[in-house]
């Protein structure tokens, strides 16, 4: 069926990119704004947000600090709150190979603090993320030089496919604080003296270093679709290999690159000739460019019928080194999502060693995707030690369509030049319908953060209104949905209510002052909803028998049944194979279901999960009363056992009855029921505003079903022979009540309110005597009324802030299986379809508090990094920390040719 993916091998399991965060040079503070150096001051950090003291913050590598913030932004972009990821089996893979901050700090070993060991360690680039966000999957920092983060991406995909993790955070980081690495790379003759990356250009003379932090959040595609995540792109395959022995350790192997690409496409099971874009490594060196071009042209560029574009983000933002692979992934994901290919910079003339076919192009301007159908992209990343990585992506929309899947995505189906619309298409020119006012929730960790957030949103909304963006109702609905359900709620809050973009911009400028939410003394707890008859199955509860409280509760119920004179064993009946189970008969199912629900309640309470309120459907009220503390376990078992015994005699005494679930309200069936001619039937249960159950003579129920079928109203006949909650069971009223004599309530000290599905209101424990349980069997079930009363009560309790009470925040169904879920869904106050609003993937990230800076550097380091005097041709550099002026120099003819003829 649609929505389920089957895989032949784990290696072919598709992976979804669900979150993206980027800090790129210039203004690239997010994936919407793409300069070789970060504009952000690397000294600033929102340390209070992460509960990090100033002393520890100063000792932390700024790469680690930015990774903490950018990872949060990645979760935020994926629509995941901190509570949603806490304790999850999430892996972390970070690629990085430079360590400038460590070099600065070890230059003077007289002043390290207790935090420097962890603050400088490269392993903490990943491990600190796992620690702060409480992520339980594998966690490691990868160093394969420039391919570090794409290798990390491959390892993350492998981890997900192997089941080691359920989600993965993958990223890379590169920051420059000193000249040392640049000096080393310059000595190796691989840096461009022009400060440009000229991919495949005849003038290419090396790469230019760049800074950046990139994060992606990954999930198995099946899990992403199940969880309703927005899929940004689908990873079809990833692969890594090594050049092996080449003429020089830093000289790449075209043959190894070619084999790597073929391996990735064989794993993906798609034709490389159908790929429309390749994100090349593209460093812009005379040695590397022709070799990579050859590998691409002999694989992805071979036997093509459509154009292929080859570009490199290094031409735009420089070579991010350890972070370059994830920068390429993010660019490629945005390309397949948006359907537009950015321009390569600095290209003038093709390298004469590269022969491009006519249909292989370098994008010299913003270009549309070259063909219809799936948008597939390849990403190359190579380390200067020969460690290679390759990834194949496809846009989410086309992948889901060709696999017959349904899910959320942000793919722009019909991209339009010259602007990227990020998943939205332009309006159709018609006047939009009037939008209803929406609530826009703002929250921040610190009080001033509300103002920073409103400023961000004002800028965002102004850009939307100026760029002919989607209609206002859609944008506002998506914005309200994203802010309220896809962002972590922080202590300081404010809000705005409006129905138009201009009004919202104005409201944000004058929204209520930030207020801090106090911790509720009456903390939220679940409401337990106990399933009625019909949810039983032969193996129910077996998997929970390993837990002592559950096992002990069932044993106590079994003992009660024996004491009552029951001829069969509860333990034996629950252990029967399917073909021998008798749980379809009321005599067995009634006490078995109640005993199971009581045991489930006991187990939940033993685990510390106590309900704020309880409600039961039909016979589920018996266990609900026990859970509320109104009756004992023995009384609950006796009520259910007697109910089953007497119900089993109804068909013999009053003829065969029937029941039927109907997808319509009880009120809407009144006229149809009154007009039946084959017999009598009544509404037995008001389950929700849109669902009820009918009970009565079998012939009458069959007649009604025929009528509803013609009217195209859903109806399902239940597998029962007793017409519960109808006049059919009146024949056992007197006998049942007599047998219940002596079953009374107990003094209730638990203060757990019970909402009756007989009365549709809160009921006091002392009312739960024998006559109540007879009414519970005979009277209509007012489940919808009970739910409504519970919700109203919970709302009042939440407002009261009474320390003695708790309010219900969620429903937990207690029973053999989820039989009431659909009724609870239909009873929801907000009847808007769940997919009516979509998450905005281009919303600005969290507004960090960067008012404070954290930097500590020794005199020796500062003098080395920021030399106060220039180098002199003869004397060289002045030696720092010397008691008298001392200079140090290496005389080289290449640098000072005028000394060539001099002698000393």
Active site residues: 146, 281, 319
Dist. CA 891–CA 888, nearest whole Å? 10
Cα 841 to Cα 19: distance, rounded to the nearest angstrom: 8
3-state helix, strand, coil in the chain (%, to 5): 35, 20, 45
CA 189/CA 193 separation, integer angstroms: 9
Q: What is the DSSP string of 440-456?
A: EEEEESSTTHHHHHHHH
Sheet with 212-220: strands ordered across? 139-142, 90-95, 167-174, 212-220, 15-23, 233-242, 387-394, 376-382, 277-279, 308-311, 360-361
Structural contact between residues 57 and 48, judged by C-beta atoms closer than 8 angstroms: no
Helix 620-627 / helix 633-647 crossing angle, nearest 10 deg = 170
Number of H helices, E strands in the chain: 30, 29
Tokens of 721: 């022979």
> Which runs of consecutive H residues, i.e. helices, occur in 242-356?
254-268, 288-297, 314-317, 324-338
b or e along 107-124 (b: 16 or more beta carbons within 10 Å of the residue's beta carbon)? Answer: bbeeeeeebbebbbbbeb
User: Of 382, 19, 377, nearest to 168 (Cα)?
Assistant: 19
* Secondary structure element (H or E) that encloses residue 409, with its range: strand 408-409
Which residues pair with residue 207 across a beta bridge? 191
Who's near 534: CB < 8 A, 6+ residues apart? 718, 719, 720, 819
Contacts of residue 97, defined as CB under 8 A and 6 or more positions apart, other chains included, come to: 143, 144, 145, 146, 148, 321, 322
Separation of first and last alpha carbons in the chain: 87
Q: Quick one: tokens of 893?
A: 């003819």
Other CB atoms within a 10 A radius of the CB of residue 764 amount to 12
Q: Under a CB-based contact definition with an 8 Å cutoff, are residues 725 and 685 in contact?
A: yes
Contact by Cβ (8 Å): 636, 594: yes
C-alpha triplet 840, 845, 847: angle, nearest 5°: 135
- Is-contact 625 579, C-beta < 8 A? no
Sign of CA dihedral 196, 197, 203, 206: positive
Cα of 175 vs its chain's centroid, Å = 28
Instruction: State how far the Cα of 698 lies from the Cα of 289, in Å rounded to an integer.
Output: 81
Cβ pair 191, 183 in contact under 8 A: no
Query: 71 near 21, Cβ under 8 Å?
Result: yes
Query: Could you tell me where the DSSP H helices lie in 88-211?
Result: 100-106, 116-120, 124-133, 148-161, 180-187
Burial class (CB in 10 A: 0-12, 13-18, 19+), 834: exposed
Beta strands at 230-231 and 408-409: parallel, antiparallel or unpaired? parallel
Task: Give the β-pairing of 167-174 and 438-444.
Answer: unpaired
Of 486, 14, 525, nearest to 219 by C-alpha is: 14
Q: Phi and psi dihedrals of 216, rounded to 5?
A: -125, 150
């Amino acid at each position: 069926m649609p929505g389920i993916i089957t895989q032949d091998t784990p290696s072919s399991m598709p992976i979804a990119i669900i979150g993206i965060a980027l800090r790129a040079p210039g203004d690239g503070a997010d994936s919407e704004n793409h300069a070789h150096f970060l504009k952000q001051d690397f000294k600033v950090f929102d340390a209070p947000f992460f509960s990090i003291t100033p002393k520890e913050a100063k000792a932390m590598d700024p790469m680690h600090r930015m990774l903490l913030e950018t990872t949060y932004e990645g979760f935020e972009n994926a629509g995941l709150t901190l509570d949603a990821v806490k304790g999850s089996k999430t892996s972390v893979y970070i690629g990085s190979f430079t360590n400038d901050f460590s070099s600065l700090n070890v230059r003077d070993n007289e002043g390290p603090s207790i935090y420097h060991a962890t603050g400088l360690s490269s392993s903490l680039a990943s491990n600190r993320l796992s620690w702060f966000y409480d992520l339980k999957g594998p966690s490691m920092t990868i160093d394969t030089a420039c391919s570090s983060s794409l290798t990390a991406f491959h390892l993350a995909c492998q981890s997900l496919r192997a089941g080691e993790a359920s989600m993965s955070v993958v990223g890379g980081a590169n920051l420059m604080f000193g000249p040392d690495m640049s000096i080393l790379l310059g000595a190796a003759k691989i840096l461009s003296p022009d400060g440009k990356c000229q991919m495949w250009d005849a003038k290419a003379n090396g790469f230019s270093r760049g800074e950046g932090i990139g994060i992606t959040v990954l999930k198995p595609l099946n899990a992403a679709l199940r969880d309703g995540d927005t899929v940004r792109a689908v990873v079809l395959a990833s692969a890594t290999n090594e050049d092996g022995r080449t003429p020089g350790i830093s000289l790449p192997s075209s043959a190894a690159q070619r084999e790597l690409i073929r391996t990735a496409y064989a794993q993906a099971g798609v034709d490389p000739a159908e790929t429309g874009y390749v994100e090349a490594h593209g460093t812009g060196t005379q040695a590397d460019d022709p070799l990579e071009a050859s590998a691409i042209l002999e694989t992805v560029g071979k036997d093509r019928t459509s154009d292929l574009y080859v570009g490199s983000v290094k031409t735009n933002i420089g070579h991010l080194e350890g972070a370059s692979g994830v920068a390429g992934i993010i660019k490629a994901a945005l390309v397949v999502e948006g359907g537009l290919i950015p321009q390569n910079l600095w290209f003038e003339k093709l390298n004469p060693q590269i022969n491009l076919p006519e249909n292989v192009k370098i994008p010299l301007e913003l270009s549309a995707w070259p063909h219809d159908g799936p948008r597939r992209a390849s990403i190359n990343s190579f380390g200067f030690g020969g460690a290679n990585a390759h990834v194949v992506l496809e846009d989410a929309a086309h992948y889901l369509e060709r696999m017959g899947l349904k899910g959320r995505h942000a793919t722009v189906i019909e991209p339009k030049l010259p602007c990227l619309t990020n998943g939205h298409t332009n309006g159709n020119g018609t006047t939009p319908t009037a939008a209803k006012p929406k609530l826009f929730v703002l929250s921040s960790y610190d009080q001033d953060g509300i103002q920073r957030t409103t400023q961000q949103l004002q800028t965002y909304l102004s850009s939307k209104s100026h760029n002919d963006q989607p209609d206002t109702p859609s944008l506002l609905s998506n914005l309200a949905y994203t802010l309220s359900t896809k962002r972590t709620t922080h202590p300081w809050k404010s809000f705005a209510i409006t129905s138009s973009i201009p009004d919202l911009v104005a409201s944000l400028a004058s929204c209520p002052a930030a207020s801090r939410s106090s911790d509720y003394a009456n903390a939220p707890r679940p409401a337990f909803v106990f399933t009625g008859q019909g949810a039983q199955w032969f193996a129910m509860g077996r998997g929970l028998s390993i837990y002592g409280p559950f096992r002990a509760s069932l044993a106590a119920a079994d003992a009660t049944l024996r004491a009552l004179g029951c001829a069969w064993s509860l333990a034996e009946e629950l252990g029967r194979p399917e073909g021998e189970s008798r749980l379809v008969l009321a005599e067995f199912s009634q006490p078995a279901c109640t005993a199971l629900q009581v045991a489930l309640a006991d187990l939940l309470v033993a685990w510390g999960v106590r309900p704020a309120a309880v409600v039961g459907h039909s016979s589920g009220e018996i266990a609900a009363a026990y859970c509320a503390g109104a009756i004992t376990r023995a009384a609950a078992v006796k009520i259910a056992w007697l109910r089953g015994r007497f119900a089993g005699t109804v068909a013999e005494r009053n003829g065969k009855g029937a029941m039927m679930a109907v997808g319509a309200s009880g009120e809407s069936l009144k006229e149809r029921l009154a007009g039946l001619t084959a017999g009598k039937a009544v509404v037995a249960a008001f389950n929700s505003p849109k669902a009820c159950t009918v009970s009565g003579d079998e012939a009458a129920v069959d007649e009604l079903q025929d009528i509803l079928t013609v009217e195209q109203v859903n109806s399902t006949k239940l597998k029962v022979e007793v017409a519960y909650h109808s006049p059919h069971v009146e024949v056992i009223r007197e006998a049942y009540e007599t047998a219940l004599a002596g079953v009374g309530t107990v003094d209730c000290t638990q203060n757990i309110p019970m909402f009756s599905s007989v009365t549709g209101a809160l009921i006091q424990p002392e009312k739960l005597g024998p006559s109540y349980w007879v009414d519970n069997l005979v009277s209509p079930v007012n489940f919808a009324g009970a739910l409504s009363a519970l919700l109203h009560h919970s709302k009042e309790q939440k407002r009261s802030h009474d320390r003695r009470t708790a309010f219900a925040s969620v429903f937990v169904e207690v029973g053999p299986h989820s039989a009431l879920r659909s009724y609870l869904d239909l009873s929801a106050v907000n009847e808007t379809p769940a997919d009516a609003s979509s998450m905005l993937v281009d919303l600005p990230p969290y507004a960090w508090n960067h008012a404070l800076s954290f930097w500590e550097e020794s005199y020796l380091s500062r003098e080395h990094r920021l030399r106060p005097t220039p180098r002199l041709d003869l004397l060289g550099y002045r030696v720092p920390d010397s008691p008298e002026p001392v200079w140090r120099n290496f005389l080289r003819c290449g640098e000072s040719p005028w000394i060539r003829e001099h002698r000393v």
